[in-house]
Amino acid sequence: MIVFVNSDNFEEEVIRSDELVLADFYSESCIPCKMLSPMLYELDAQYEGKIKIVKIKVDTEFELAQRFEISSTPTVLFFRNGRKLESLTGYKDKDTWEEIINSYI
């Protein structure tokens, strides 16, 4: 189940999570973000119990965007045990996301 994260629940949902976390920093006006979103729901179902997917709206979560130096959307960060593992910017096809996720699980 994809979780919408803000500054109030970021620590709990991302930093303190013991799962691999894919954090999608997105904007409502971003066309590639809108293209990525349905794919994230597919990946969420496909990797249920193996990965947590969260969405962070940069339009309202300025502090989190600044903290992680998000300068364009979509930007996806991978976290494990509170540590950022990787950062990817821009739309990627499903095969690319699967390859990256599989390398971490």
Amino acid 57: pLDDT: 98
Structural domain harbouring 39: 3-104
Nearest to 65 by CA among 33, 24, 20: 24
Amino acid 83: pLDDT: 95
Amino acid 55: pLDDT: 98
Amino acid 38: pLDDT: 97
Catalytic residue selected from 23, 33, 40, 77:
33
**Prediction pTM value:** 0.94
Catalytic residue selected from 5, 23, 30, 51:
30
Answer yes or no: are the C-beta atoms of 105 and 51 closer than 8 Å.
Answer: yes
Q: Is 30 one of the catalytic residues?
A: yes
Query: Count of domains in the chain?
Result: 1
Amino acid 25: pLDDT: 98
Amino acid 36: pLDDT: 97
Q: Is 33 one of the catalytic residues?
A: yes
| Averaged pLDDT in 10-residue chunks for the chain of 105 residues | 96 96 97 97 96 97 96 97 95 96 95
CATH number of 46's domain: 3.40.30.10
Amino acid 32: pLDDT: 97
